[in-house]
A and B are shown apart, each in its own frame.
Chain A
Amino acid sequence: MPTDVNAMDRDGKLRPGSSVLRKLRLPAASASGLKSSHFRRPWVAAGLIAPQLLILLFFFFIPSWKALSLSFVQVDPFGGRQIFVGLENFTSLLSSPEYRASAWFTLWFTVVQNVALISISLLLAFATDYIVRCRTVYKSIILLPYAIAPVISGVLWAFLFNPAVGPIAQWIHAAGLPWDPNRRPMDAQILLIVASVWKYICYNYIFLVASLLAVPRSLLEAATLDGAGPVRRFFTISMPLIAPTLLFLVVMNFVHGLFETFGIIDAVTRGGPGGSTNSLVYKVYQDGFVMLDLGSSAAQSVILMGIAILFTILQFRGIGRKVNYQV
């Protein structure tokens, strides 16, 4: 509850910039978000907002509610009978070695992917920021994978590393190293990470280039006069200033890694070999649509929803916080 009276205006609305808002870390506008000059025609407003709310009701709220209620029952796939089992779906899920393996793989995959994405795209963004000539050409090329569907990225890399015909696999074999993502779990996981990093570097790169461009030139020039070299300037001035962007990207990379790699996995490994690349989202699909174990799949969906909500909160709290020096 707001404690200081000054934070409220006459109508009891929160005043923009008040300490309460800063504590909530929401943009000032969302406390009320109403233009001071507005219309008072409730029926027109209802008509305008109805399509969005109806679509959300049918394709968002009802499905989410169903997932939640299905996660507490066991359904037999043919008869459609439902028996309430309480938390049993969750406990059996958390104690099943397959689910744990899947969770570990997902964690491992997202962390490695995140580290690779951030470091590679930071390097590329730094280089783009430093040079002048050919900047647009480099940018256009590096942005290209943004247009390519994750599943197509998966198909491309699956071909390159295909142990029978893929050119890169042939080079690896020529170097005398073993390579077979269809049999060796580690190879399959590496292949997935490569395909996914290739697909998502551009996303990180766009944001980092834009935020580096926003670093005030005056600060950099002052530091140069004080004798700081380009690398030192990058780490002591630019990095703290772009920290909010970095944080945002770390969260987004986790989100991409968790939820949007379905296409890549389906194209490259289909969860194999032996379930070693069965990520959490892929497992929901496998258990729900292939094995028809609806209760367990719903429980998995609920766990994923929890994770997604956590990331959204992190994103909103983290981005609002200014992880930089006041300029």
Chain B
Amino acid sequence: MSEETIKKGLADKGVSRRDFLKLGGLLAAAMGMQLPPLEQSGLPAALGTPARGSQIEQNILHALETKQRLPVIWLEFQDCTGCTEAVSRSVSPSLENLVLNTLTIEYHETLSAAAGYQIEQAKQDAMKKYAGQYILVVEGSIPTDNDGAYCVIGGRTAIDHLKEAAAGAAAIIAVGNCAAYGGLPKAKPNPTGAKGVWELITDKAVVNISGCPAIPEATTGTIAHFAIFGTLPELDNLNRPKTFYGKTVHDRCLRRPFYEAGKFALSFDDEGAREGYCLYKLGCKGPTPYNACATIKWDQGLSFPIQSGHPCLGCSEPNFWDGGGFYQGQSTPLDKPTVAVVGAAVGVGAALGIGTALVNQSKKKAKKGGSK
């Protein structure tokens, strides 16, 4: 399957030349491409010179015409399948098709028709056949406590599956906060010892497409980037593609002017909420998380949480479940002392203070008495 070029695969499925050109433009936009990494990609250098129309789009079209199809192995561990659900609804049918159909997904527990030993065998075969070529996509965190007993697939632990698949992968993409940073399973007290992929696979670069779920266009865009250019996109310090995670949600938020003007909703049904004021006081975490929610949005660009009236939870950041209450202001401290603890601190301080004063008093009296 993967010997065909991507373009041929599309043409076989009845995608017209016109739709193919549209796809090129769409991909360029989805990946936020400005200067494609031509040198690493092995595409002709002449493509780097300015041409009529969109040069980037032409590069992508050329890549689609010449590059071979790419096998993908998609593993699921401690997850809710939310990221798969999101990808299966990604903005344009063509982009979704590109990743789900045109790129060959060789193994995906949720989407595969086969099950049990057959699908395990298919995965083994694919990993052998495409050793060193396939993209490994991981969804869900990996439990490490009790030798990984909390997630066992086909009699083998998640750690086993991950390490085996990672060994032959050309690129590893962790989709969703769970796979990237541990996500919900890692929330205190982290009963399964859940970890993100990059904590376990240290000898290869892991691209983190964080989010809960990850924005589908970020997932498909990153996979498409690798399929087309053969390289990973530029990453930030948490290994997220800068294209999608370069700005905070707050930076691009449509309610930002209200923040600047100091107009806030104080409850979910007050006048401010109806006017669409800033949700900062209702606990919006927008200023810290880096994500593309405010620009790409969800459901074909229809809306995103803040637009529909809910504060941002900061789901693209590590440990967002433990980053303070979802409905508490983000400036608030994470650990609050209880009244008893405050009372104890003040009480001990006061007692010591009174003690010191009494000692000083008695010293003074003794001195006075002595001088008399």
Specify whether A and B are partners: no
Binding site for B on A (CB under 8 A): none
